[in-house]
Amino acid sequence: MSPYIILLCLILFIIHANPSMGAQINETTIPQGSEINTDGPQSWVSPSGRFAFGFYPEGEGFSIGVWLVTDPSRFIMWTAFRNDPPVPGGSILLTAGGSLQWIPPNQGFQGKVISAAPTSATSAAILDTGNFVLYDAKKQVIWSTFGSPTDTLLPGQNLPPGNQLFSSVSNTNHATGKYRLSNQPDGNLVMYPIGAIDPDSAYWNTGTYAQNFLLTLTLDPNGTLWLFDRNSPYRMMLFLTNQSLSASPDSESYYHLALDADGILRLYSHVFFKQGGAPKTKVEWLVPPSNDRCSVKGVCGPNSFCQVTSSGETSCSCLPGFEFLSANQSTQGCWRAQTGGCTGNSSNGDIGLVATMVTVKNTSWSDRSYNVPPQSPTIEECKAICMSDCACEIAMFDSCSKQMLPMRYGKRVPGSNTTLFVKVYSYEPKGPIRRTASATSTAMLTSGAALAMLSLVVLLSMSVLLCKRQPFFRYTRAPQQQETEFDEESIGIRPYSFHDLELSTNGFAEELGRGAYGTVFKGVLTNSGNKGIAVKRLERMAEDGEREFQREVRAIARTHHRNLVRLLGFCNEGAYRLLVYEYMPNGSLANLLFKHDATLPSWSNRIAIALDVARGLQYLHEEIEVPIIHCDIKPENILIDS
């Protein structure tokens, strides 16, 4: 970079970063004892009226946060308790003791402290910068929303080294979503799917890891985005808005940077006209670009690939021989509709299980090869190599690297040189009569639909994963799997407070079952359409139980299969350890077989049950990224869905 460009960038940074040359910081003081509530004034508003702090509607209740007022809509800039259910109402009070609290509407709820200030606050303010602050008696800021960003940066707000932004679930659900923007200690600004830590999972970065600086991300009042080092003159301008060079006297502009729910980082401008009229909102800059939305890794789940439709939206498709985990949520990924294990082609009466290699062209994937032939084979040789290896699920050509499941981060790339050969299993009649491909596919889908009516779900819980060589929390894992520090935000499931689960279960009133290590209770998530849940409260912890609890939650959170109960969340609060599962309304296989008033299933249904259990075990043993050996298969741990 020429010295003139560096000097220009430095001058621009000084101009844009100087508070006296940007937006003036105005405020309205909020003294102790001030209160807002959902039945009266629901927010405190900044002097300009552009920003507000208080209650905003979400779901069937309210969330607490800061937003930019762009009537009739609002842009949420910060959310308190973002992973807790919305509150039913109540008030926000700056108490006489100097604490900012949510006060519940009745005694059935426990209040929450919004601020984590080290000392008592004497006053508060919502500034025209969008920052809500608490002051001590010396008018020093002791807590601010700028200090704990969620998915957004406002002008004057920094993202220091080691800090992250986490996307929201959607525009109407501001719980932690699927993506994160990490300002890494090595100086690189990187975007990942949540839960991923390996460099191959990154889908955008600034490439500043070799600068040997601890860089801070900041947005100035004129909409210019910078990376800078606090201890040196180093500056890197990521984006310069046109408005910053040609401000209009008839309007004023506000900016914010957001990691949106779709994993794209966008810089927004909001132009307000002094003569009135509706404000104009515009996307000034975004990465990755809008024509490459499938480059956001994790848009589609495992074993599926992303493609952009003619309308510009993303669409997910399964690999051949795979079906969506959820027909209503195609982004969750796909599972193998039929598995052949390591026995090769097999037969049963007049029907044989046959494996074929199906070609998929023009796609790109994250390479998870476990073996590459020393010499480059031909296409037919590559297919034969994979067919002869029971562990090979997919061969990626032109190097013929043998792949394991799950396949990750697939996307359609027209003209790509990569060709996949996918091993697909199907039942074929013996002898000279052969079905056509379309007939085989129809038979497989019909069979799958019939089995889904009596689909069984293997319950993965702390007791189920036991291998009873140790007192608690033991399962066999693949060797050399590195443990990482437990991070509630990064494992992709929702943390709950003990109080929330106590309310959801009505004080743990209805017991569903009891095991050696805990009791399962029925509950309801009122903020999710009264969705039924099963809450397992763990009661026995070994000396190293905390580490093992974290390990188990991390392992179970990474399992996604239609024949495994889904882990929805967990509680890791104080001495409490709880797991939240989806609720299976028809109970266990033990009840179905042994309860005195139960109707016994037919033999054909019993076979279907056994096959579904086998599919769940096949996934755990051979298809999951970190294999798990199930050590407690019994009727009590096999649940029947609806």
Sequence ranges of the binding site for ATP: 536
d(CA 78, CA 257): 12
Buried b / exposed e along 307-341 (16+ C-beta atoms within 10 A): bbeeeeebbbbbbbbbbbbeeeebbbbbbbbbbbe
Q: Could you list the residues known to form a binding site, using ranges.
A: 536
| Measured CA distances, 631 to 459, 479, 607, 612, 616 (Å) | 12, 18, 22, 17, 13
d(CA 576, CA 81): 19
Q: Regarding beta strands 531-538 and 518-525, do their DSSP bridges make them parallel or antiparallel, or are they unpaired? A: antiparallel
Peptide bond preceding 155 in cis form (omega within 30 of 0) = no
| Measured CA distances, 628 to 121, 145, 200, 517, 621 (Å) | 50, 42, 23, 19, 6
Alpha-helical segments (H) within 394-452: 437-452
**Phi-psi group of 617: left, alpha or beta (phi > 0 → left; psi -120 to 50 → alpha; rest → beta):** alpha
Strand, helix or coil at 303? coil
The tokens of 420 are what? 């996949």
d(CA 538, CA 550): 13
Identify the burial level of 2 via C-beta atoms within 10 angstroms of its C-beta, where 0-12 means exposed, 13-18 middle and 19 or more buried. exposed
Buried b / exposed e along 362-392 (16+ C-beta atoms within 10 A): bbbbeebeeeeeeeebeeeebbebbbeeeeb
Cα angle 572, 576, 582 (rounded to 5 degrees) comes to 70
Query: For the residues of 305-360, what is the DSSP string, one character each?
Result: EEEE-TTS-EEEEEPTTEEES-TT-GGG-EEESS--TTS-SEEETTEEEEEEEEEE
| Measured CA distances, 338 to 524, 613, 614 (Å) | 34, 13, 11
Buried b / exposed e along 542-560 (16+ C-beta atoms within 10 A): eeebeebbbbbbbbbbbbb
Q: What is the DSSP letter of 622?
A: I
Number of residues assigned to the chain: 642
Strands (DSSP E) contained in 35-175 are 35-37, 43-45, 51-58, 61-70, 73-79, 91-94, 100-103, 112-113, 123-126, 132-135, 141-144, 152-153, 158-159, 164-168
Query: For the residues of 149-217, what is the DSSP string, one character each?
Result: -SSEE-TT-EE-TT-EEEEESSSS--SEEEEEEEE-TTS-EEEEETT--SGGG--EE---TTS-S-EEE
d(CA 279, CA 255): 13
Which residues make Cβ contacts (< 8 Å) with residue 478, sequence separation at least 6? 626, 627
